[in-house]
Structure 1
Amino acid sequence: MTKTFFPDKGNALHTAKQNFKIAENWLNEYNSLDSAILYYEKVNAFCSNISDVNYKLGYCNLQKGNLTLADSFATKAYQLKSTLPVLYLNARVNHYLENPEKALVFYQKYLEQYTPTASPDKKYVEQLFQHANVMLSSKNEQYQINTIDSLNSEEDEFSPLFIPNTSQLFFSSNKKSMSSINEESINIYYSFFKDGEFQKGKILNNRSINIRGNSGISSISKSGKTMVIYHGFSVGRLYYAKIDLTKDTKLPNHKKKLPSPINNYFYQVIGGTFTPDGKAFYFSSKRKDGVFNLYYTKRNGKKWVDPILLEKINSKGNEIDPYFSANGDTLYFSSDGPNSIGGYDIFQSVKTGDHSWSKPFGLPMPINSAYDEKTPSTNDDGSLILFSSNRPGGKGGFDIYSSSYQKEKMEEEEPMVVSEPQFHTLDSILDENLLNTQLHILSKKDSSQLSGAKITIYTFPENIVLRRIVSDTNGVAKINAIPNDHTFGVNIVKKGYDLFSLKVHIDSLKTDYTLYLDSIELNHNITLKNIFFDTNSSKIKKSSYNELENVLSFLKVNSNVVIQIEGYTDNTGDYDINMMLSQKRADAIVAYLIDAGISKERLISKGFGEENPVADNKTEEGKAQNRRTEFKVIKN
């Protein structure tokens, strides 16, 4: 950024340089992604064709899990200047987006242009190349993946384990507890599966089990009588405790340390499980090879024999989280070895003899992903698999997920054969996946071109802002590097015109879109389609903030208007309760706008409950349409 390229923008150039320095400081010194993005976006608003700024925006959004946004910026950075960091960023973004063909092209280019001073090193990128190659050959089965919201939080949840033949489940979390064990370390929680859903988790309020420090559940025996517990930090120890099965709420007590050679002063151990017959113990430990491998030890009288490395199971990577099926014929575990599709994946192996196992193969996508999948377990008959993952779309870091799992089908599958990737030219991939699009903003009244319209484009349904642009003197807004075959939300604010909100699907056959704005009309209801509340609550969800910011922008641009916010429900439940809930939700939106600086004299809230339905309440789809928020201008 120099005056040579911006001769008429001296002051703005100076500000852009300062904003870039501030962004770099937030990112490199404090690792504050949100603050860094804020200042990088200021620079990008000054000039959107700076490769390094697009690269940094792509990098920050990748770290936040905003993959569509990261893809857009990373691709723009590549179009402007191809460097090793830009190639690596594009490879990682496409790997996480589960576009292995495109990821392989970028990994290949990185390896071809690699220099010894580059980071990451060549060996690591070759491993990632292998993961993407495995993904290319992986089958994407049509399993439904569900996040278990009642168990998850903004922190980490993992290790979901049923007590066999019961509806009680234990899991681990590092969320801060509100019980007497008020710590932010890992603790053990429990829940019950009742009426088709998991109840909210409760902390195991026992200081001998949840000690001061990390306490995580590792396994539960198939008899349901024994829980294996992990205590510690980098070098932990495994314990076992007896579960009282006579109580309605079955809790562990009388904890004891597992003996040597499972626990060893010189080696790290992080988790293990008894075999279904209780005669052997499988566990993950970092010993002579410098990685975590799976071992087993057997009882020999009152002692346990020296650990034996499991043949065929272990790879050059880490193997952790062993778990047995109910009858012990299948071993599940997590691995980040060469045959994963990225990060840790869940693998399974079939028993072929006494502590002998078949060559393991990974569970299909979408159970496994380019992110980490760990701590697998199942219900009693194996029809449901539970696991933890840090993939985007959850509440926090690691979340607990469930998926229907067809055990017979998986056992019939042959081990995966990795084939050579079929490369396409990078240009052809970009042509298929990226478009430069134009929006033509016109007045609906006379088709005149509208300049100065403020346009916000965001991904749908993720609700992540992708672009903020303004239409030029011809009413045209150009959008560079927009991902193809994706649905976006478009919000437009223009003085004297109603707030515009629309979903647009971008396809490869159309690069120009014409959008018409209505002049402000009194008492004309506009539905705010992206306003969401917690169930049976007036608490506004974070995913509503983009829509609310557009209402706020509308009110600031049209500084004289007075609006009425209207809340509606479907006809489920009591009429009076619905009326009260809709009023509270309308009040909540008004309160948000007042907190943002809008005068309360310009805002009126009114709840209508189940009145004035816009669809049939006999169907779930109709009910969803009737649960809505609207606003109208009542004074201009």
Structure 2
Amino acid sequence: MYNIIIIFLLVPNIIFSQELYSVDSLSLETNVDCMLLDDKKERKKFNRAESVIIKGRQDVKRLYDAMDLVNKLTSPLHRSVLKTEIYWLREKYFEAMNQGLRVIENCPDEFPYVYYFLGHISFIQKDYVASANYLKKSIELELSDPYYSDAIMMYEKAKILSDIINNPVEFKPFVIKGISSKYDEYLAIISPDQEFAFYTRRLIKKTKQDIAETSVEEFTFSQKKDGVFSYGDAMRYPFNLTDNEGGATVTIDNNVLYYTKCSRDSKGYNNCDIYYTTKIKSLDGTYRWSESKEFPKSISKKNAWDSQPTVSSDGNTIIFSSNRKGGYGKTDLYEITFENNQWSVPKNLGTNINSAEEEKSPFLHTDGKTLFFSSTNFPTLGGFDIFYSRKDSLGKWQKPINIGYPINTSTDEVSLFVSTDGKTAYFASNKLIGEGGWDIYGFPLYEDAKPERVLFLKGDLNDEDGTFVKDIEIEIKNLTTQKITTIKVDKGSYVGAITLEDNDDVLLSIKEEGYAFYSEYIDADDSNYISPSTLNIELEQISEGSSFKIDNIYFNTNSYEINQISEQVINEFINYLRVNKSIVIEINGYTDNVGSFRDNQVLSENRAKAVYEHIVSNGIQKNRISYNGFGEEFPVDSNDNEEGRSKNRRTEFKVISK
């Protein structure tokens, strides 16, 4: 049985070899002479054939005459040498590769241009590692013109691409459950808070009127519940009115959606434009999307492909892909900015991003500094590859970096986006084993490609009665740079994102008149604030005689020296006193019951005094501030455990008058 199988496998190869090579079976020869032909007649035939091949470089028809001359050569080696070039010139790369491999197998150091042909073929076939090796060898063997210059340029490219392949990045994809189904899903985006997903699903449908099944694209919405996305539903009105909608992006508060809508004109041109819609709360408490609106004509061009928008975390910048006139390539990336209550004219992102090839599928991360996109420009491993670029200190986009192999392959990779915390990247693929054809996948993003750290906070803002607090501002201060980001509270809820370095701590504060001072110190290593995070805030209304506690005013054991964290918090409280100019405050210090009663009394008074002196030294009038120490009296929790004792060690602020 095994003999029959072996014969069956070998017979096609024998026939194939006879058809292509006739007697050019060099591997069967012994003592092959790799030197130039000594026989004058044979050398004359060789030179004649070579001369016709040279002419055939400009006139392919002459190559047929050259092949006749080549077949008259006695030496199988030299027939294969010339046939390699003939087949290469005729773009019969499989045949050229086989002839060339026979030559270098027998004579590895004699024919540099055979290595060049093999290198060129390997490059076309996207085998960049082999291409670099062949081209390097051709140069080492002193390849001459007309191929030398091209070999140098091609080798430099092949070397870069082979280095990408030889240095693979971590890539462990997993299918996104719920969104991915037996149907095709693609052009996906997950909201910055990771709660909603928008994507296109291609369904196979058949109505009673249809004779055959038809393929239908639906712009689809999915919501996460218990950590898993739902199957998803088709977006209702005003969506799915045409047969080609999707490629969406959403603001960080999930209230404004930008998406692409395409339609064919009377001439059959598929015109694509970017639309936007706003979330509206209905009387019954549910939400719906407003009528979609197109951008003005200064942005949306007739007979142009404007598509795949991505919006910045502050909502003031949109980057999109377009084939409009005046670009550098077939499709370029452009940006528009919202200034003076209107969107600017589109601005090309420039030659650091755009090329003479194609750029599309942009994704601007929540950090506002990292841009992912797809491009067919070098260095691409084939088709569209995913690249990323970062803004420098001047706000200019730096040279893009190929995200690496095996994320990128010899086929197209598009539509990558990254989670707010920078840890997970998402993309669509039909090359992996998922739920159906095209599915949505995620994978842990390797360190070098991660965006900068982002603190993403959202939550509700209520008073102690549970009533939404409106029209106030939350300040988030970067304690390293002292930069302040202001978030406006809209209808009792807020959302905000700031970009940070890995070691930056931040202080969130509210200094609203009529309410107690509120602060939240967020340490860079605090695992409770891995983005995105929810922080619901309760503000206390102040009245004469009421007290409020300020967290994060700490002292070392048996010390009343204000540490650095406490100083930052107290400084923001000083700003609160400057906003609330008439308020008079009494600072009250408390301890736990560890130590003697007398010592705790003295320690609490010294700590309250230290806070008082720091406030007064920063310009607050003494008649607005007083202090007391109560030691271990008036505990708010049990002193029988550390958790309770930590609550009893506190600094409270009593409102004397407002």
TM bucket normalised to smaller? 0.3 to 0.5
Task: Give the TM-score of the pair, scaled to structure 2.
Answer: 0.43
Structure possessing the higher relative contact order (Cα contacts under 8 Å, 6 or more residues apart):
1
Q: Which has the larger radius of gyration?
A: 2
